[in-house]
Amino acid sequence: MLDGRRILLIISGGIAAYKSLELIRRLRDRGAAVRCILTKGGAQFVTPLSVAALSEEKVYQDLFSLTDEAEMGHIRLSREADLVLVAPATADLMAKMAAGMADDLATTALLATDKPVLLAPAMNTFMWSHAATQANLHTLKSRGILTVGPNAGDLACGETGAGRMAEVPEIITAVEGFFARAAAPGPLAGRRALVTSGPTHEAIDPVRYIANRSSGKQGHAIAAALTALGAEVTLVSGPVALDDPDGVRVIRVESAREMLEACRAALPADVAVCAAAVADWRVEAAGQKIKKTAEGAAPSLSFTENPDILATLSAAGPERPALVVGFAAETENVLDHAAAKRARKGCDWILANDVSPATGTFGGDRNTLHLITADGMEDWPTLDKADAAARLADRIAHALTATAAAPA
């Protein structure tokens, strides 16, 4: 998919810059030509020699280099690429981009380019969540800048939270997804979708956890179907034994709280489809394996309600997706419970399905869905999960297109 593509990689100053070396190698393995701009800060973490060796191209650093400008002016450098990729994108560089500054080669090239730009942010979690950074991110996205990540996890500074640069395979997927959409734009081209899938695991101790029987097959199929229609899809998945859908950015989580954090980090989105079977409760996990007692008494577990991801995404706010779709997996009074759930959660649509053991829905390949909206209910026939996903994706595309075409 990347054969013959020309990518301008800008490496800015952050510890995540070490990942850029592997990124160069992986891009070139897929046939891409990679030119690199290394900022002054980036050169504190990776050397020009290592970048040049892996890219097999000259590394550009100095805006005022007479030799570089004579051989490859910064305007030409920024426009000969098919995609400008910034990895890592620091808070400082994002702020300069939002303000339209051009005080070094990297920012000048970004301001001068007429090509799409994809950022892979990386910074301390408090820097990422700061109102200034989030405002800059909103500004950049409103101008059509694409992003991948950041992820939540352990950071180099010793803290934990969102701000970790997306892993190299995730960035590669985002790059491939961009070119796939550009080659064959569908009705959801330019739209961003968030999909949750699979179960969550809530730890009881280092060995045991609370979970459910969800396989993730329906959620993964929905992510693939939305991608096939041109959407830029982020799939937040609990533990599943499934391959990642092609062209989809996948974020793997364990618990409900991790899933909510990943969903928030993936916003804004045009549509959110909450297909994951999120555990309703969790317990305070023990630090060591809970052992049997001599008396044989069962341990006492105190439950706490997990965050409600569907209700959170459905709540009114500046980043609420235009369309929020939930699932209601029920074993009795399926339609009544689903309609009540839609009203309670505040989502736009809800898909009801019977997951009683006799149906074989959990873990199976077929599903019988009922779509409930403000306009009423549709009974869908029993379909392969891939076909059900394609049907839902078509409905989503129609709804978003109709909303965009509606008079103000």
On whether 308 is known to bind a ligand per the annotation, the reply is yes
List the catalytic residue out of 157, 263, 274, 347.
157
> What CATH number does the domain containing 250 carry?
3.40.50.10300
φ, ψ for residue 206, nearest 5 deg: -60, -10
307 is in an annotated binding site: yes
- Asked if residue 104 belongs to a known ligand binding site, the reply is no
Go through the chain and tell me how many residues it has: 408
- Identify whether residues 283 and 300 lie together within a single domain: yes
Tell me, yes or no, if 157 is annotated catalytic: yes
Tokens of 34: 């990679």
What distance in Å separates the CA atoms of residue 89 and residue 122, rounded to the nearest whole number? Answer: 6
**51 and 115 both lie in a single domain:** yes
Asked whether residue 1 is assigned to any structural domain, the reply reads: no
The first and second tokens of residue 198, run together, are: 């699979």
Per-residue pLDDT of the chain (408 residues; tens, 9 = 90+): 688 899 999 999 888 999 999 999 999 999 999 999 999 999 999 999 999 999 988 899 888 766 666 566 667 888 888 999 999 999 999 999 999 999 889 999 999 888 899 999 999 888 898 999 988 888 888 787 888 888 877 777 677 777 889 888 888 888 888 887 777 678 998 899 999 999 999 999 999 988 888 899 999 999 999 998 889 999 999 999 888 887 788 899 999 999 999 999 999 999 999 999 999 889 988 888 988 887 778 888 888 999 999 999 999 788 899 999 999 887 788 899 999 999 999 999 999 988 776 676 666 778 889 999 999 999 998 888 888 898 999 999 999 988 765 555
132 and 194, same domain (yes or no): no
- Is 179 annotated as a binding-site member? no
Let me know whether 201 and 342 are in one domain.
yes
Residue 217 counted as an annotated binding residue: no
Rounded-to-10 torsion of CA 136, 142, 143, 145: 70
pTM of the full predicted structure? 0.60
Amino acid at 400: L
Omega of the bond prior to 150 within 30 degrees of 0, cis?
A: yes
CATH number of the CATH domain containing 169: 3.40.50.1950
Query: Is 327 annotated as ligand-binding?
Result: yes
Beta bridge partners of 324: 272
- Per the structure, the complete domain to which residue 396 belongs is given by 188-405
- Residue whose C-alpha is closest to residue 75's, from 42, 20, 115: 115
